[in-house]
């Protein structure tokens, strides 16, 4: 029982690193951190309680946050994906409920696109304030290859299949896919299920109904994945193609692959790695319809945005809320636009002309604003005890290690 | 049992002798014991305790009896991971032992180029595992890596990491490439300990190089082989970094060995109780294997290999 005391001690000590008026804020450490850093510096000029920004390298972020939240040195404010990604913290009573704060504050209430705020909430309660750009998943393609083969961006499944055969005959991989990591494969299943069964199927799954995996639309989606794999839509060696090291985006920019289903950050990735290609030949479109599907082709999947949430153990709740309010300011939105992001603030539309690529920014904003439904990436929407087995099962499905039927059975069995 | 009693006599004799010399008191061992207790025994005990709990890392662990353990024995994923771990261990052993042994015996000789080449062979051990895994990962990229060019020449499909067998063999190869220098060093040391007179006598009797190797070097190295094998087996059973960086347990779950399954369960699913059960099972298996190996090889008797010398 001594051991139990030792272990329990890890979680129960109050205080959260807020010594003498400091708020620590964890943020996902990538290129966009400079925008948050500028916001912090601006805020610290006038605030008595100072915010200290701690960028955590991307791949470590989820782990580091989880360990920190279970320890006495937890952050006061932290970056997250909303929904399932914060559910364990909500269940452990570690989050400040912001619902009434947002409802009673004009800046927070009207500052953001309502669908975005909703997408990050849990059981109708708001725990986060949007703080970065939107990241819908889009179908990126190589304009030059399409023109050379007299093709246009596929709008229907027939057009998609025609494009697959055409490119295969030319020895070009139809779709780049970084199959060594599992989440790029997940994006396919997310869009397929949405187009085939509509967003309601996943909504049911997300609400904790494991039997919803047994919906015929899930099986059809998994079968479509298998058909695509068998038809060589992703080439022969996608299982050993990496995303993180840039192998998959390079396939697209070098013309070895014609299309790439990826989050909107693909644009900045290409701009960094292959600027010529990004400027001249990179194009984007919505995911096509699937024959016999009932989902609205305007629906979007991906990450609506990222959110700041507040740790309930913080000593400076008021200051933390004040900091979160600055996320709705015009200057902050402008900084995001300048960085190439598309903010989720209600006033963003008028600023997009200042973006590094106004057309891309505008298309992205329109796509999200017009979408009847924006499904959050499944691995963020679901808790890790379902999301991790899901990613494993998807990887098995793509690798041909399990059949669509086995995939469905395995997911139904995850408690 | 006879050797046990003789061993005891020897020890008793030693004790008496040591008493005269003035042996350092137990206090000298205290820092070491404390360090070991704090960083090995205590965490191990906590892991065992956690294996009987449900713990998500945020709330306090709640004891749930033997649920994790009954689940462990029924879990097909655990069974597959255990099988893959054993397979990886066997492949690693079969690959590293002969090469390291031959290299070690060669490095113990007096050849001219020996020192320089030995130093070169030693380099992989000085690199970090992460760096090595990333290096091989880049080399094996099926579209942009060296494998794309060289693979077809030597009859290897560039999609090495995408096939189940290929991925497992790659993990074994990369691990072998890294740790072989270490085992070479052990064998080099072992070979140097073999008295030269044995070889001189064999030469007089007309034994050639091969016979000398099989009848003197190999038997004399048998305890070195045990040492090296125990290290290899325990090392391969806990092999993790390379899997994480190179294959992420894939394709599918075909390289999800026990340590990776433990990591995934603990730090991706946040089912830390079940992960602790996997970890404890791994400790038990690794300890049992090394004990069995030590026992059946006669290594445990700690008798000199140089009997009659």
Would you list the DSSP string of A381-400?
A: HS-HHHHHHHHHHHHHHHTT
Q: Is the pLDDT of residue B164 over 60?
A: yes
Mean pLDDT across B162-177: 93
Instruction: Tell me the backbone φ, ψ of residue B306, rounded to 5 degrees.
Output: -100, 55
Least confident of A13-17, A295-299, B248-252, B280-284: A13-17
For residue A122, give the DSSP letter: B
Say if B252 is an interface residue toward chain A (CB within 8 Å): yes
Least confident of A112-126, A376-390, B71-85: A112-126
Residue in chain B lying closest to A2 (CA)? B46
Sign of the four-CA dihedral A95, A97, A98, A101: negative
What percent of chain A lies above the pLDDT cut of 70?
95
The whole-angstrom distance between A95's CA and the closest CA on chain B is 12
Of the candidates A91, A87, A54, A94, which has an alpha carbon nearest to the alpha carbon of residue A71? A94
Residue in chain B lying closest to A397 (CA)? B252
- Average pLDDT over chain B, rounded to an integer: 87
Least confident of A150-159, B241-250, B298-307: B298-307
Q: Is the pLDDT of residue A261 over 70?
A: yes
Q: Is the pLDDT of residue B303 over 80?
A: no
Interface test with A, best of B145, B252, B253 (most A CBs within 10 A): B252
Say if B144 is an interface residue toward chain A (CB within 8 Å): yes
Q: Is the pLDDT of residue A311 over 90?
A: yes
Q: How far is CA B5 from CA A145, B11, B249, B301, B307, in A?
A: 83, 10, 49, 11, 18
3-state helix, strand, coil in chain B (%, to 5): 75, 0, 25
Retrieve residue A270's tokens.
């290409």
Interface test with B, best of A240, A260, A386, A410 (most B CBs within 10 A): A240
Q: How far from the centroid of its chain's Cα atoms is residue A165's Cα? A: 30
Name, of B90-94, B206-210, B236-240, the range with top average pLDDT: B90-94
Q: Measured between alpha carbons, how far is A23 from A322 in angstroms, rounded to an integer?
A: 12
- Residues of chain A positioned with their CB less than 8 A from the CB of B253: 392, 395-396, 401
Residues 6+ apart with CB under 8 A from B276: B47, B48, B49, B50, B51, B53, B55, B68, B266
What percent of chain B lies above the pLDDT cut of 70?
89
Q: Predicted confidence band at B304 (pLDDT cuts at 50, 70, 90)?
A: low
Assign A78 to helix, strand or coil. strand
- Average pLDDT over chain A, rounded to an integer: 90
Mean pLDDT across A74-81: 95
What ipTM is given for this predicted complex? 0.84
pLDDT for the residue numbered B10: 45
For residue A367, give the DSSP letter: H
For residue A243, give the DSSP letter: S
Q: Predicted confidence band at B152 (pLDDT cuts at 50, 70, 90)?
A: confident
Q: Measured between alpha carbons, how far is A158 from B275 in angstroms, rounded to an integer?
A: 46
Q: Measured between alpha carbons, how far is B287 from B302 in angstroms, rounded to an integer?
A: 19
Which of A89, A250, A395 is the closest to B58 by Cβ?
A89
Q: Measured between alpha carbons, how far is A280 from A351 in angstroms, rounded to an integer?
A: 23
Would you list the DSSP string of B49-98?
A: HHTTEE--SSSPPEE-TTHHHHHHHH-HHHHHHHHHHHHHHHHHHHHHHH
pLDDT for the residue numbered B306: 55
Q: Is the pLDDT of residue A338 over 60?
A: yes
Q: Predicted confidence band at A14 (pLDDT cuts at 50, 70, 90)?
A: very low
Helix residue ranges per DSSP H, A173-300 = 183-197, 199-206, 216-230, 247-253, 266-273, 275-280
The whole-angstrom distance between B37's CA and the closest CA on chain A is 14
Assign A305 to helix, strand or coil. coil
What percent of chain B lies above the pLDDT cut of 90?
61
Cβ-defined contact of A7 to B61 (cutoff 8 Å): yes
Q: Is the pLDDT of residue B112 over 90?
A: no
Residues 6+ apart with CB under 8 A from B249: A392, B243, B255, B256, B257, B260, B261, B264
Retrieve residue B297's tokens.
């090889």
Q: Predicted confidence band at B1 (pLDDT cuts at 50, 70, 90)?
A: very low
Q: For residues A224-262, b (16+ Cβ closer than 10 Å) or e, as one string?
A: bbbebbeebbbbebbbbbbbebbbbbbbbbeebbbbbbb
Mean pLDDT across B262-284: 93
Mean pLDDT across B250-272: 93
Retrieve residue A385's tokens.
């005890």
Least confident of A3-17, A209-223, A283-297, B5-19: A3-17
Q: Predicted confidence band at B7 (pLDDT cuts at 50, 70, 90)?
A: very low
Q: Is the pLDDT of residue A12 over 50?
A: no
pLDDT for the residue numbered A273: 87
Look at B42 and B304; give whichever has higher pLDDT. Answer: B42
Say if B269 is an interface residue toward chain A (CB within 8 Å): yes
3-state secondary structure B259-273: HHHHHHHHHCCCCHH
Q: Measured between alpha carbons, how far is A102 from B234 in angstroms, rounded to an integer?
A: 56
The whole-angstrom distance between B264's CA and the closest CA on chain A is 8
The whole-angstrom distance between A211's CA and the closest CA on chain B is 20
Mean pLDDT across B256-270: 93
Q: Is the pLDDT of residue A17 over 90?
A: no
Q: Measured between alpha carbons, how far is B76 from A411 in angstroms, rounded to an integer?
A: 15
Mean pLDDT across A122-148: 94
Q: Measured between alpha carbons, how far is A393 from A182 in angstroms, rounded to an integer?
A: 9
Say if A245 is an interface residue toward chain B (CB within 8 Å): yes
Mean pLDDT across A192-202: 95
Instruction: Dump pLDDT digits (tens) for B218-252.
Output: 999 988 998 899 999 989 998 899 999 999 998 98
Cβ-defined contact of A385 to B267 (cutoff 8 Å): no
Q: Is the pLDDT of residue B116 over 90?
A: no
Cβ-defined contact of A237 to B159 (cutoff 8 Å): yes
What is the model's pTM? 0.85
pLDDT for the residue numbered A257: 96
Which residues 56-85 on chain B approach chain A with CB closer than 8 angstroms?
56-61, 63
pLDDT for the residue numbered B305: 54
Sign of the four-CA dihedral A209, A215, A219, A220: negative
Say if A94 is an interface residue toward chain B (CB within 8 Å): yes
Retrieve residue B143's tokens.
């579209």
Note if the bond before B251 is cis, omega within 30 degrees: yes
Q: Predicted confidence band at A1 (pLDDT cuts at 50, 70, 90)?
A: very low
- Residues of chain A positioned with their CB less than 8 A from the CB of B78: none
């Amino acid at each position: 029982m001594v051991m139990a005391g030792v272990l329990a001690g890890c979680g129960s000590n109050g205080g959260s690193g807020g010594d003498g008026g400091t708020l620590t804020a964890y943020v996902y450490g990538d290129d966009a951190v400079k925008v948050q850093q500028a916001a912090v510096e601006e805020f610290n000029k006038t605030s008595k309680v100072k915010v200290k920004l701690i960028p955590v390298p991307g791949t470590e972020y989820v782990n580091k946050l989880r360990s920190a939240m279970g320890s006495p040195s937890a952050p006061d404010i932290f970056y997250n994906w909303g929904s399932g990604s914060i559910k364990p913290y909500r269940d452990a009573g570690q989050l400040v409920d912001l619902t009434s704060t947002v409802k009673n504050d004009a800046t927070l209430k009207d500052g953001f696109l309502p669908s975005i705020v909703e997408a990050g909430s849990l059981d109708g309660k708001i725990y986060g304030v949007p703080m970065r750009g939107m990241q819908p998943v889009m179908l990126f393609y190589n304009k030059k290859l399409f023109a050379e083969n007299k093709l246009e961006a596929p709008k229907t499944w027939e057009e998609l299949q025609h494009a697959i055969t055409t490119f295969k005959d030319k020895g070009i991989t139809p779709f780049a896919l970084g199959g060594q990591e599992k989440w790029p494969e997940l994006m396919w299943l997310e869009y397929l299920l949405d187009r085939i069964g509509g967003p309601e199927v996943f909504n049911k799954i997300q609400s904790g109904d494991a039997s919803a995996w047994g919906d015929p639309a899930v099986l059809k989606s998994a079968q479509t994945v298998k058909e695509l794999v068998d038809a060589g839509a992703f080439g022969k060696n996608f299982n050993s193609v990496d995303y993180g090291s840039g192998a998959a985006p390079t396939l697209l920019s070098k013309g070895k692959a014609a299309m790439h289903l990826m989050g909107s950050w693909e644009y900045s990735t290409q701009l960094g790695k292959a600027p010529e290609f990004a400027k001249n030949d990179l194009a984007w479109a919505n995911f096509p319809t699937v024959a016999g599907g009932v989902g609205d082709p305007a629906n979007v999947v991906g990450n609506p945005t990222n959110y700041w949430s507040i740790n309930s153990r913080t000593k400076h709740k008021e200051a933390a809320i004040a900091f979160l309010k600055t996320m709705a300011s015009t200057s902050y939105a402008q900084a995001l636009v300048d960085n190439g992001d598309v903010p989720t603030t209600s006033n963003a539309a008028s600023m997009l002309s200042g973006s590094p690529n106004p057309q891309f920014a505008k298309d992205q904003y329109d796509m999200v604003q017009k979408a009847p439904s924006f499904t959050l990436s499944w691995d963020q929407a679901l808790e890790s005890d379902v999301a991790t087995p899901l990613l494993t099962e998807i990887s098995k499905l793509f690798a041909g290690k399990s059949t669509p039927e086995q995939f469905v059975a395995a997911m139904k069995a995850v408690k | 049992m006879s050797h046990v009693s003789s061993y005891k006599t020897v020890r008793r004799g030693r004790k008496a002798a040591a008493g005269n010399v003035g042996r350092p008191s137990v206090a000298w061992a205290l820092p070491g014991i404390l360090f070991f207790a704090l960083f090995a025994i205590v965490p191990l005990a906590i892991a065992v305790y956690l294996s009987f709990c449900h713990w998500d890392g945020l709330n306090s662990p709640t004891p749930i009896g033997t649920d994790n353990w009954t689940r462990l024995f029924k879990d097909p994923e655990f069974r597959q991971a255990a099988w893959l771990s054993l397979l990886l261990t066997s492949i690693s052993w079969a690959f590293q032992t002969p090469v390291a042994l031959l290299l070690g015996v060669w490095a113990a000789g007096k050849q001219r180029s020996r020192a320089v080449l030995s130093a070169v062979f030693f380099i992989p051990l000085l690199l970090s595992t992460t760096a090595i895994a990333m290096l091989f990962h880049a080399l094996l990229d099926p579209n942009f890596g060296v494998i794309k060019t060289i693979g077809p020449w030597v009859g290897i499909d560039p999609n090495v990491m995408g096939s189940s067998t290929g991925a497992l063999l790659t993990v074994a190869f990369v691990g072998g490439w890294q740790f072989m220098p270490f085992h070479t060093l052990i064998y080099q040391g072992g070979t140097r300990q073999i008295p030269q007179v044995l070889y001189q006598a064999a030469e007089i009797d007309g034994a050639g190089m091969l016979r000398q190797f099989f009848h003197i070097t190999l038997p004399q190295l048998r305890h070195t082989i045990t040492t090296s094998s125990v290290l290899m087996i325990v090392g391969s059973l806990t092999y993790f970094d390379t899997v994480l960086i190179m294959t992420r347990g894939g394709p599918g779950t075909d390289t999800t060995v026990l340590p990776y399954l433990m990591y995934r369960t603990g730090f991706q699913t946040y089912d830390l109780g079940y992960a602790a059960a996997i970890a404890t099972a791994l400790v038990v298996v690794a300890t049992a294997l090394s004990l069995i190996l030590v026992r059946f090889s006669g290594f445990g008797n700690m008798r000199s290999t140089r009997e009659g010398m």
